[in-house]
Structure 1
Amino acid sequence: MPSTSTITAQHVRELLSSSDPDPRLVILEGSPRVVSAAEAGADRYRGAVEVVSRDDLAARLGPGAPSDRDLEALASRLQTVVSELGG
């Protein structure tokens, strides 16, 4: 079972399906969270590292709904990037 600090397909799915107009996947205190761009700039999220915005992610995915396998692969790539940053 992944730790709470691991980006999972569920985080990616939550980012893509968020009702917020500009959601971001951030890491705060080692935990991935999906927050609005406005929230990301608030004191509550001071020190959070932005991993990716929905718009950037959607542009990389292209048209159509990603499969579960696509989401898992993407989550793994995002986790690798965060790990390399020391997050």
Structure 2
Amino acid sequence: MTISTEDLRRLLDSDLPDATLVLVEGRAEVVTAQDLDTDAFRGALQVMTREDLRARLDGPDVTEPELKRIAATLGSAVDNIGG
């Protein structure tokens, strides 16, 4: 499963509290921590929280190369666990 830079931008730009990027049924979604307890997202693979993503960034100005690097790393990790 590929994690795209667009997925990471959606996570960063989300107005949701405790925004989390998850994989569910072959697609990436940005949800809240509470959403993870619902039937729609039960069993979803949690990829990264917005706070975790911000911690990986070099600063407040997000660059496309930075997002590509992080997306590639996350995509590899997901592939390794069979996501």
TM over 0.5: yes
Higher mean alpha-carbon deviation, 45-54 vs 34-43, is at 34-43
Match of 1:28 among 24, 28, 31: 24
Asked if residue 67 in structure 1 is aligned to residue 81 in structure 2, the reply is no
Percent identity, aligned pairs only? 39
Q: C-alpha distance in 1, partners of 2:59/2:24?
A: 30
Calculate the aligned-residue CA RMSD, in Å: 1.2
Match of 1:9 among 5, 9, 14: 5
Alignment-mate amino acid for residue 25 of structure 1: L
Match of 1:53 in 2: 49
Q: C-alpha distance in 2, partners of 1:27/1:34?
A: 9
Specify every segment of 5 or more residues in structure 2 that has no aligned partner in the other structure, as ranges: none
Runs (4 or more) in structure 1 with deviation over 3 Å come to: none
Match of 1:82 among 64, 78, 82: 78
Q: What's the TM-score once normalised by structure 2's chain length? A: 0.91
Aligned pairs, number: 83
Q: C-alpha distance in 1, partners of 2:35/2:47?
A: 15
